[in-house]
Amino acid sequence: MAENKTPQTQDASGEFLLYYECMTRVFLADGISEERSSLRLMLLDLNMEIAGEAADWSTTLAQAPISRTDMLLVDWDLLPSVAPTAALSELREACPEALVIVLISHLDARQQAALSAGADAFISKGEMPERVAERLKTVAASIPI
């Protein structure tokens, strides 16, 4: 019988965690470094792994597919304004297994546009951090293990 070689790490309480089997891998794409930093800290607090980051659309399209990510967290303002629907479709084709979560700055027509453009969900950047964290946990719970 083969021995399980899954990497394990102990947390502060001494419990073993199987990070490679249960952590949600997230690719974070936002053009504002302060927002990326805040989101990164929130994701790490939620025990999610940062699979990669991008500050522009071309880097997102190049790096997200090779990051083996479970969830793509993409700022709506990062999408090309001339064809956001086509851009999200291209990202979906490149990462067919990943959930696409669109971050929006204002709750207006962007909300409907994000969903109709092919996003699985949207999260408003104007929400309280606790609410954003709650939404991210809910979405991550829907990812098959």
Q: Which amino acid is at 81?
A: S
Query: Tens digits of per-residue pLDDT, 66-100?
Result: 999 999 999 988 988 778 888 888 999 999 999 99
The whole-number pLDDT of residue 117 equals 66
Nearest of 103, 100, 105 to residue 89 by alpha carbon:
100
Residue 3 has a pLDDT of 36
pLDDT score of 56: 96
Beta pairing partners, 50: 26
Distance CA 49, CA 69 (A): 9
Domains and CATH numbers, the chain: 24-141 (3.40.50.2300)
pLDDT tens per residue, range 7-25: 444 445 555 544 444 578 9
Q: Would you say the pTM of this structure is higher than 0.85?
A: no
Question: Could you give the residue ranges of the DSSP H alpha helices within 3-128?
Answer: 19-22, 33-45, 57-63, 84-94, 109-116
Q: Tokens 């700022």, residue? A: 75
pLDDT digit string, tens, across residues 24-68: 899 999 999 999 999 999 999 999 999 999 999 999 999 999 999
Instruction: Please name which of 72, 121, 119 lies closest in space to residue 95, comparing C-alpha atoms.
Output: 72
What are the b/e assignments for 89-114, b being 16+ CB within 10 Å?
eebbeebeebbbbbbbeeeeebbebb
The H helix count followed by the E strand count for the chain is 6, 7
| 52 against 127, higher pLDDT | 52
